[in-house]
Amino acid sequence: MMKKTISFLFVLLTSLAAVAVAAALFAIVFFIFSESIRAIREVGFGLFSPNWYPVWETEPEFGIGTMLLNSLILAVWTSVWVWILGLGVAIYLHRYASNRERELMLRILEYASGIPSVVLGLFGVLILGNLFLRLGAWSAQNFLNASIVLSILTLPFMVSLTFQSLEKVPRQLVEGAISLGAKDFAVIQVELKHAAPGIVNAMLSVFNRIFGETMIVLMVAGGANMLVGSFLDPVRPLTATLGSEIGEVAAGSLHYSVLFFIAFLVLSGCLILNVLTNRITRRLERWIKG
């Protein structure tokens, strides 16, 4: 009897926890959306204009166009580099590195992925920033600086996720390919095809992480609301504005509502990307089994 009650209680507790988590997620999305309704109603398409002057008493402007574009450009540019580099490193570790090398690299990546973003941001401000000034850049905090620091943040994820999916490719497949006379390059192709779901998953997670990262862009991107025209221009991505202004904004004001709209935009972007990732991964899995 006692045992039964305990097990019943346990099931009850875990299912309650599960429901609570799901409810919390929905509540968050709902809360953020309901707070941004006022912005959508009062500013409308003006939300996507380029000018951001939220606290001016005469003619305030709430355009997030420039920030959104900067966010996307920064995320795409950085992701492409991280994807290429990460894939390269993972293939090297998987196929060519000696055991000791691999162990060492994996250990280093593990530690690197544990560095808090604030610390990386400080590195960008203090070390990279000085370097940029010495090399003649007009601003220490700029697009390239942010891009480099974001790459450092996400490269470990990309490498270890890709490496793991490569390791999971069945041995027989590789051996079969080799015994059919496949050259190195062809073998890698076979492996990549098989690891594709994991790799695509890694790529999209990296993009997501870069798009949503706040602390680093707040510290090193430069904070100017100008559209990036060169690598050395200071920029201000969406998340930086949100992080900088939400703390002190008067609750209930239009400015507050627009900030929630930004949050909603970033959140829905990430959610859509997550759903897309799942879809694509599943489709790829089916294609491989094909």
Partner 1 sequence: MKKWLFVFLVGIMALVVQAQTLVIKGSNTVYPIAQLWVEEFQKIHPDLIVTLEGAGSTTGIKALFNETTDVANSSRFLKPSEIEEMQKAGRYFAPILVAYDAIAVIVHPSVPLEDISIETLKKIYTGEITEWNQIDPKLPKRPIVVYSRNTASGTFETWVEKVLQGAKLSPRVQMLESSQAEIESVAKNPNAIAYTGMGYVTPQVKALKVNGVAPSVENVINGRYPISRPLFVFIDLKRFNNTWPMEGVVADYIRFILSPKGQKIVREAGYVPAYGTGE
- Per CB under 8 A, residues contacting partner 1 are 51, 53-58, 66, 125, 129-130, 133, 138-141, 218-219, 222-226, 234, 236, 244-245, 247-251
Kindly provide the residue ranges of all beta strands, DSSP E only, lying in the chain, ordered along the sequence.
52-53, 61-62
Q: What is the distance between the alpha carbons of residues 38 and 262, in angstroms, rounded to a whole number?
A: 13
State the nearest-atom distance from the C-beta of 233 to partner 1, in Å: 9
**Is residue 237 a contact partner of residue 150, using CB atoms and an 8 Å limit?**
no
**Is residue 254 a contact partner of residue 43, using CB atoms and an 8 Å limit?**
yes
CB-nearer residue toward partner 1: 65 or 192 = 65
CB-nearer residue toward partner 1: 35 or 191 = 35
State the nearest-atom distance from the C-beta of 126 to partner 1, in Å: 9
Own/partner long-range contacts of 285-288 (Cβ < 8 Å, ≥24 apart): 285/197, 287/196, 288/193, 288/194, 288/196, 288/197
**Is residue 166 a contact partner of residue 90, using CB atoms and an 8 Å limit?**
yes
CB-nearer residue toward partner 1: 16 or 226 = 226
CB-nearer residue toward partner 1: 55 or 275 = 55
**Is residue 233 a contact partner of residue 69, using CB atoms and an 8 Å limit?**
no
CB-nearer residue toward partner 1: 111 or 138 = 138
State the nearest-atom distance from the C-beta of 23 to partner 1, in Å: 30
State the nearest-atom distance from the C-beta of 274 to partner 1, in Å: 30
256 is written with which tokens?
Answer: 């507050």
Q: What is the distance between the alpha carbons of residues 26 and 14, in angstroms, rounded to a whole number?
A: 19
**Is residue 221 a contact partner of residue 235, using CB atoms and an 8 Å limit?**
yes
State the nearest-atom distance from the C-beta of 218 to partner 1, in Å: 6
State the nearest-atom distance from the C-beta of 255 to partner 1, in Å: 9
**Is residue 201 a contact partner of residue 161, using CB atoms and an 8 Å limit?**
yes
The greatest distance separating any two alpha carbons of the chain, rounded to the nearest whole angstrom, comes to 78
CB-nearer residue toward partner 1: 60 or 174 = 60
State the nearest-atom distance from the C-beta of 237 to partner 1, in Å: 12
Instruction: Indicate if the alpha-carbon torsion angle 264, 265, 267, 268 is positive or negative.
Output: positive
CB-nearer residue toward partner 1: 43 or 203 = 43
Q: What is the distance between the alpha carbons of residues 180 and 187, in angstroms, rounded to a whole number?
A: 10
